[in-house]
Amino acid sequence: MKRAERSGVDRPQLSRLFESMAGDIVLRFVPGRRCLDLGRGSDAVLGWVRDRAVPPVETVDLEDLDVEALDLGLGRLSDHAFDVVYSLQTFPHLGDEPDQSEDLARRFLKQAARLCAPGGYVLVQVVNTRSLWGLLAGIRRPMTLVSGGTLVERRGVAITRFDTLAQFVRLLPPELELVDFHGFGVTTLSPRAVALPLVGRIAERTEWWLHGLRWPNAFGAHLLAVCRHLPKLMTAGQPDADADPNAHSDPNARSDVDVDPPSISSLDRGTGPSEAGPA
């Protein structure tokens, strides 16, 4: 099934904005590293990654991450073969039925952890329940509540799961630890607005400005969760010899990641790619 069919929407200009913002984060991790694109959710970001990562950059299409094909599609790849595993526009759309979503989400993250080298990073794009988009979607369309409190929207053949950061953390296997997150799509939700020349320019500049601030990130329509693969300890205080000695911390990581930020109603409402994308 094609990505456009999975997402259930076609909004190219808004997608380009979000791709540039996601690419801004992903590209901080990839220079000189072995990378895997899980789902091939953005060909634009994949192209930018290929220009900077250790070749070849492996990809696994979304079609290979379905109910029966997920483990088979990833089974051909060796354990701990990549320093960076990233996934865009894929995790929220796994499966064809709401009841499949929870199982696939856990299996997906477990496979990502298996493929990532100790000390490496797994980056996953999540659709955020605690966002304006999440609130509007819940009002306009029926949602299915699945285990863990996650809401899943069904639109035609496509599903979209909405997770809070805390719900996403509960899905993580023990090898992965959330170390940071970045939000985008805080205010810009309408593709029609972005398509208007003047309004679209203002909307893009506003999104990039908010992208650099800390607290608005928690309310982005999309969250890019940054997880570190914890190095296994051979003995107390001694790191696993297989751990990547060149693995580094995210230079922009926050040590006090709040996975359960305050609700939108409790708030007062009153450097990588440029706005055109990476060079």
In the chain, beta strands by DSSP E: 34-39, 54-61, 82-87, 116-128, 143-145, 151-155, 158-163, 176-184, 222-229, 233-235, 238-239
CA–CA distances in Å: residue 77 to residues 80, 115, 276: 9, 7, 34
- Report residue 90 as tokens: 């894929």
In sequence order, the β-bridge partners of residue 183 are: 223
pLDDT confidence of residue 187: 73
Q: Are 170 and 116 in contact (CB under 8 A)?
A: no
**Rounded Cα gap, residues 162 and 136, in angstroms:** 12
pLDDT confidence of residue 148: 59
pLDDT confidence of residue 45: 95
pLDDT confidence of residue 43: 92
In the chain, the amino acid numbered 268 is D
In sequence order, the β-bridge partners of residue 60 are: 38
pLDDT confidence of residue 12: 60
Q: Which burial class, exposed, middle or buried, applies to 241 when counting CB atoms under 10 A from its CB (0-12, 13-18, 19+)?
A: exposed
pLDDT confidence of residue 136: 63
pLDDT confidence of residue 125: 96
pLDDT confidence of residue 277: 43
Residue among 19, 24, 27 nearest 44 (CA): 19
DSSP at 129: S
How far is Cα of residue 161 from the mean position of the Cα atoms in its chain? 12
pLDDT confidence of residue 50: 97
**Rounded Cα gap, residues 108 and 104, in angstroms:** 6
Q: Residue ranges of the chain with pLDDT lower than 50?
A: 1-11, 233-256, 260-272, 274-279
**Rounded Cα gap, residues 250 and 54, in angstroms:** 18
- Report residue 129 as tokens: 């329940």
pLDDT confidence of residue 168: 95
**Rounded Cα gap, residues 191 and 13, in angstroms:** 7
pLDDT confidence of residue 145: 59
Give the model confidence (pLDDT) of 222-257 as tens digits.
Answer: 899 999 999 874 334 444 444 444 444 444 444 445
Q: How many CA atoms lie within 13 A of 79 on its CB side?
A: 5
- Report residue 146 as tokens: 């699945």
pLDDT confidence of residue 121: 98
pLDDT confidence of residue 79: 95
**Rounded Cα gap, residues 19 and 241, in angstroms:** 36
Domains along the chain? Answer: 3-231 (3.40.50.150)
- How high does pLDDT run on average in the chain? 75
